Structure 1
């Protein structure tokens, strides 16, 4: 009984302590348009209820996002993110980092969001590449910023009188995870240099007539992961042999926390005295920073990541936010609920043999291959965002599975160059391979080295010309792909999604034969 009372008292004490926060930050990352509930994703109405309740006990609250806010669901894509921004405005979300997928609709939509929403995007390390050198030098030394509708930093002064600053940073992976046509005029620069520059600017607050900073947070779309030893890491080594997150935490000074995104991981801990957080994705979790600025002469931060499924279990969905969603759903309801085909069995998106062999991605690639009369169909594994169930397949389901407006392109390529493409394709990326190839049977040894490649029943020949169909995203360098010796290039001006819808409107959604095309020795 004493133990139970102690636990209750501790819980009350912690709640009281956090209620006395001088600053509280809530951060959603990689929301991807998930305004409706789906399994352990609670949806916007319940998140709104959670934040409303939370704000009552945490009056010094600021809400932010770590990028990739919109792309991912049909209702968000069709509205170009407007449904998400109306939700963000309702919950008082102030600032957002710039995620790679926030460019998916084109840069013009940042201007639209700036005019129609109160959300402000922050990115200190994005610049226009066509800036004249003299102009760049002038801007650098006068500390002005050149990017339209995106600022390097923002701040919020709270009822406690304390001021928190956010400096935005985008990942250096953006150029290879975003369609080249959407960012061709932009340069993504060293986040360490960019952050330190603007920290110096902020700390010289009197000169620049801005409020004195009580704490500075990096609001980023930089990938992070965490192992059981509380070590943060990323497989990418982009900055002098270090991952982005290591480089930032090791070399950016005078910050209290780094809010991260992009990798869709649960991260909660500290490195070098700096808090690093991420809350998976799509509203599964929300990152929290609790600041005590009155016990000592500095603001001390305590991190927390809240599981929203548990935290909202007894909360009712917010009716006003539900009405926002219903408004957008009603405008596209007939289109999204139209049944395109039937699936005799479920089509999983993830690899079924470890990370190899995705039934759904292979099936999509096979449709692209056959409909373009190509030898090979190539799609990226992570470009397919959801599995499809057995039974009726609606247009909305296909849209959410293939949300990107990537065009199909075809070209001829020599076998020796195709082999390099295949080698890059079989690298693991999350729960699937980087690329999924229909038309190629691949045998691997125990070390995952290619032993044999068979194209449409015949061994690959290095000097033979093969016709390959893929997406413009991949062709222009997305996911690290590169192509040499290409000839007879053609842009079909048909999106992958439209080709799939057109095909499935005539045929059932069967898993393509030969989908287990990669054979790996154990």
Structure 2
């Protein structure tokens, strides 16, 4: 190859590189922006092809959500203080589930606000379980020192009662007194094992002090899944869901 041809190719490569760099650095600006709103309301017609596509999945989901998993002997209501039928049932379930995973568990805590519905007397369907616990909360076991347990009891007292199991206490002037854990008076020099769910263990619902627990174990199981299995097992044994107000939290006026 002659020097003149080499020089020509070099100039061509340089020119192409310059043009490429120039094109990469070119700035574009929006010259016009059009906007049109499409309303979706009762007047909007169905897309028959889309309906045909999702209908089998919808029917399958509705069939599953309508499936009866258990029955209640009475309506499990949430209104009321300091105990509720629904709260006691749910806390007792949490304690049973905690003990099945960690035998050292002594008591359980939930919150009224975390239980999103009530259950009527009669059939309980899959959809009702989802309505009660619609979140992806997971079960957590916490080891707390005695001071943390006192804080927890004072929180329950301030809220005029919360769902608990394995714990008994009285409320006087908004403060917790006569606290018992697993049938024994609270000893602030000891440690105790609580089962709850991650939202509360992470400090939700004004429970920041739970983040100061001595130890934490994430079970890796959703509360809703565990509840479904708990109800299925009751049904398998021929039992109905039941609850009672048993004085685990009482208000004294002295």
Per the TM superposition, whether the score is higher than 0.5 is yes
Query: Which residue does 2:190 correspond to in 1?
Result: 464
What residue number does 1:451 align with? 177
2:93 is the alignment partner of 1:364: no
Q: CA deviation at 1:485?
A: 4.7
Partner of 1:500 in structure 2? 227
Are the structure 2 counterparts of residues 91 and 356 from structure 1 closer, same or farther at C-alpha, using a change threshold of 3 Å?
farther
Matched, 1:408 2:149: no
Contact 1:411 1:489 in 2 (8 A): yes
Secondary structure at the residue paired with 2:69?
strand
Question: What residue in structure 2 maps to residue 349 of structure 1?
Answer: 78
Cα distance in 2, alignment partners of residues 319 and 455 from structure 1:
60
**Which of the pair has more CA radius of gyration?**
2
Cα 1:516–1:330, aligned 2, differ >3 Å: closer, same or farther?
A: farther
Higher relative contact order (CA 8 A, sep 6+): 2
Out of 36, 40, 61, the residue aligned to residue 90 of structure 1 is: 40
Q: How does 1:28-39 map to 2 (within 5 A)?
A: none
Which residue of the other structure, out of 139, 146, 153, is the alignment partner of 1:422? 153
Q: Say whether 1:442 aligns with 2:169.
A: yes
Higher helix share: 2
How far 1:509 sits from its partner (Å)? 4.5
Q: Is 1:340 aligned with 2:66? A: no
Structure 1 residue 487: Cα displacement: 2.9
Aligned residues of 1:412 and 1:468 also touching (Cα < 8 A) = yes
The 3 A distance-change label for structure 1 pair 342 and 520 is same
Deviation at 1:489, TM superposition (A): 1.4
Q: Counterparts of 1:419 and 1:498 in 2: how far apart (Å)?
A: 31
| Alignment correspondent of 1:169 | none
Q: SS of 1:357's equivalent?
A: coil
Q: Are the aligned partners of 2:70 and 2:231 in contact in 1 as well (CA < 8 Å)?
A: yes
SS in 2 for 1:480: coil
- Kindly tell me the number of residue pairs found equivalent between the two proteins: 201
- Structure 2 equivalent of residue 394 of structure 1: 125
What residue number does 2:214 align with? 487
DSSP 3-state at the match of 1:377: strand
> What is the alpha-carbon distance in structure 2 between the residues aligned to residue 329 and residue 425 of structure 1?
42
| 2:116 partner SS | coil
- In 1, are the aligned partners of 2:201 and 2:211 still within 8 Å (CA)? no
Q: Give the secondary structure class of the aligned counterpart of 2:200.
A: helix
State TM-score, norm by structure 2: 0.70
CA RMSD of aligned residues (A): 2.9
1:456 positional shift: 2.1
Structure 2 residue matching 1:450: 3-state secondary structure: strand
- Contact preservation (8 Å) 1:349, 1:385: no
TM-score under structure 1 length normalisation: 0.35
SS at match of 1:505: helix
Shift of residue 425 of structure 1?
A: 2.5
Once the 2 structures are TM-superposed, how far is the Cα of residue 451 of structure 1 from its aligned partner?
A: 2.1
1:465/1:402 CA distance change after superposition, 3 Å? same
3-state secondary structure, aligned to 2:229:
helix
Q: Does 1:517 align with 2:244?
A: no
Counterpart CA distance in 2 for 1:477 and 1:402 is 18
Q: Which residue of 2 aligns with 1:106?
A: none
- Deviation at 1:346? 1.0
